[in-house]
Amino acid sequence: MQRLRWLVFVAALLFVWATAVAQEGNYLEWNADGSVTLITFEDEERITIPADQIGTMFGPGQQPFAGKRIAITVNNGGPKGGISGPLYRLRPAWEELTGAELDIVEMPLAEQLPATINDLRLGLNQFDGFIEGAWYMGEYVTPGFIIPIDDYMADPGFPQWDPNWLPPSLREIYMWEGKWYATPNDSDGQVLYWRNDILSNPEWQAAYEAEVGEPMPFPVKTWDDVIAIARFFDGKNWDDNDPDPDSGVVMHFRVNEQGMFHYMTMSAPFVVRGGDTVNRCTNNYWFDPATMEPLINSPGHVRALEKLVELSQYGPDAQVGWDLGTTWDWFLRGKSIFVFSWGDVGSLVQDTTRSQIKGKLGASIVPGSNEVYNMCTNAWETLAEPNVVGNTTGGSWQGVVSARSPNPDVVYSLYALMATEPVSLWNVNRGWTGVDPGWSIHFLPPDGTASLEGYLEAGWNESDLKFYLQAYRDNFFADTMLPYLRINGAEEYWRALDQNLSEAMIGRLAPQEALDRTAVAWDEITNRRGRDDQLKQFQESIGYTP
């Protein structure tokens, strides 16, 4: 009996201790096994970081960065916005964990690069770090504006994440000349989405064959298959609740938006040939790596733009003036068969306040082409199997540390916490965060280690999810990848392309003329920025040895 009373007394003490530890802060709970539970702002959801991932400098009562303050720039989206939202959700817990304070500085996309570069050049030092688009990398690295993070990654004091989670295609855009300069966060790439309930329906397949005279080419393998199916469905109506006709595809072409990204993705199979080397004609897309001559008006690029113009005819006329969000909503409302875009689409389909097609989604790596142009032989090659090219198109919004920050270790601690397995999975499970899947920890077995239950608890439809994750797994692990442009002026080159693409899509310029004008503009940008410097940087960025 005496021993029992003693055990009850000890248990009561442990309960009081555990309760006291749990109530240490409003957004942080230390657990008896050394793990820590973060409670997200507003949602009050719980994310538990295991003891071996939280970092040895952190523990109950330890706030190693107490009194310090950092400012981080990010896309303007607010507490529930893509990319910005996770910062708001985790800020209170991170502040309790570290003792530091975080200022979140939101900026419109078009202002981020010039605002931060001007701040760095003028030495104003208003910002300690940036959640930046991967195409900014050259602008930051080459002048020494950001620092490598390899030493921080090797320090067990910081929250722990594993670089091997990332496939080579994503690792490349976080690194420069063998060093890590960015902490993983988002994984951008574009895949093809379709209405699986319609394309797999035997009645629609029979109707296609009766009208076209041959079986529906589904599952699609080439862009010609997409065009054929979009042509058949355009103008038909498959939604009894909406009397207006629907479209075969939906895209967006408002100038100075993101239409050029869709052209890059679609054109890659006509241009990029795989191989063991990087040169003008293999694993290349942008410039001749020996001369910096633009390749954007090569026959492969022109053929692809001709296909894109043809495909656009089977979408709504108004899409020439639409932005990305309007395009997504058209597909989410069930008004088109196809859209090809980022991971946001798959997650937005699950939001029934915005989507009418939950449980009806199909997705795959973007289709290929049976013809690819060889820029070394200056001839078309016809292939027995389609040339399929994966992509990392988009921002892959990642954290970098300013070389001028007095608190680089504080900045890295924030980024590293966001890259831990539980936090990254929390973000990917909840698509509103804008953080898309791409690492092994995001995929289901046997491709990865994520659990189906985590996604289902976050509201995913199981069929939609499996299509979605398989599409992204196939995309990021593709044998051939579209090279990523991240040299000085990448934004400027892309805007020149975007301006001329818009002119082609509205019919003012023929595809060849639009891309010829783009090549001229690119040469002017290269000459103004210094051809020798641009060439050297381009060679470094793609791993080309002269």
Say if residues 426 and 185 touch (Cβ distance below 8 Å). no
Confidence (pLDDT) at 389: 97
Confidence (pLDDT) at 191: 97
Does the structure show a pLDDT above 80 at 542? yes
Confidence (pLDDT) at 540: 86
pLDDT range class, residue 431, cuts 50, 70, 90? confident
pLDDT range class, residue 325, cuts 50, 70, 90? confident
Does the structure show a pLDDT above 50 at 18? no
Does the structure show a pLDDT above 70 at 529? yes
DSSP line for 307-335: HHHHHHTTS-GGGGG--HHHHHHHHHTT-
Average pLDDT over residues 397-416: 97
Average model confidence (pLDDT) for the chain?
A: 91
Confidence (pLDDT) at 391: 97
What span, in angstroms and rounded, lies between the C-alpha atoms of 435 and 413?
19
Among 365, 338, 309, CA closest to 481: 365
Among 329, 334, 361, CA closest to 240: 334
Confidence (pLDDT) at 471: 97
Burial string for 242-267 (b: 16+ CB within 10 Å, else e) reads eeeebbbbbbbbbbebbbbbbbbbbb
Confidence (pLDDT) at 12: 38
Does the structure show a pLDDT above 50 at 16? no
What span, in angstroms and rounded, lies between the C-alpha atoms of 105 and 101?
13
Q: Which amino acid is at 256?
A: N
pLDDT range class, residue 197, cuts 50, 70, 90? very high
Domain boundaries, the chain: 22-188+394-476, 191-390+485-541
| 449-473 pLDDT tens trace | 999 999 999 999 999 999 999 999 9
Average pLDDT over residues 280-300: 95
Measured in degrees and rounded to the nearest 5, phi and psi for residue 37 equal -105, 120
Q: Which residue has the tokens 């046997």?
A: 446
Q: Which is more confident, 204 or 486?
A: 204
Fold of 22-188+394-476: D-Maltodextrin-Binding Protein; domain 2 (3.40.190)
CATH architecture for the domain at 191-390+485-541: 3-Layer(aba) Sandwich (3.40)
Q: Where are the alpha helices (DSSP H) in 380-489?
A: 408-419, 421-429, 452-457, 462-476
Say if residues 459 and 367 touch (Cβ distance below 8 Å). no
Confidence (pLDDT) at 25: 62
Does the structure show a pLDDT above 90 at 500? yes
CA dist 203 → 216, 220, 235 (Å)? 11, 18, 17
pLDDT range class, residue 43, cuts 50, 70, 90? confident
CB-hemisphere CA count at 13 Å for 232? 23
Least confident of 256-260, 284-288, 484-488, 495-499: 256-260
Average pLDDT over residues 48-65: 95
Query: Do 191-390+485-541 and 22-188+394-476 fall under one CATH topology?
Result: yes
Say if residues 106 and 136 touch (Cβ distance below 8 Å). no
Does the structure show a pLDDT above 90 at 51? yes
Which helix (H) or strand (E) segment holds residue 365: the answer is strand 361-365
R_g over Cα of the chain: 25
Q: How many helical (H) and strand (E) elements, i.e. helices and strands, does the chain have?
A: 21, 15
Report the alpha-carbon angle 386-388-393, nearest 5. 155
Average pLDDT over residues 40-55: 93
Say if residues 267 and 304 touch (Cβ distance below 8 Å). yes
Does the structure show a pLDDT above 60 at 8? no
Least confident of 7-11, 353-357, 427-431, 466-470: 7-11
What span, in angstroms and rounded, lies between the C-alpha atoms of 317 and 250?
10
Tokens of 152: 């921080």
Measured in degrees and rounded to the nearest 5, phi and psi for residue 290 equal -95, -20
Does the structure show a pLDDT above 60 at 6? no
Q: Which is more confident, 486 or 25?
A: 486
The SS3 call for residue 129 is strand
pLDDT above 90 as % of the chain? 81
Tokens of 365: 């790596």
| 208-241 pLDDT tens trace | 999 999 999 999 999 999 999 999 999 999 876 7
Measured in degrees and rounded to the nearest 5, phi and psi for residue 401 equal -110, 125
Name the DSSP letter for residue 430: S
- Roughly what angle, to the nearest 10 degrees, separates helices 84-98 and 421-429? 150
Tokens of 255: 């100038």
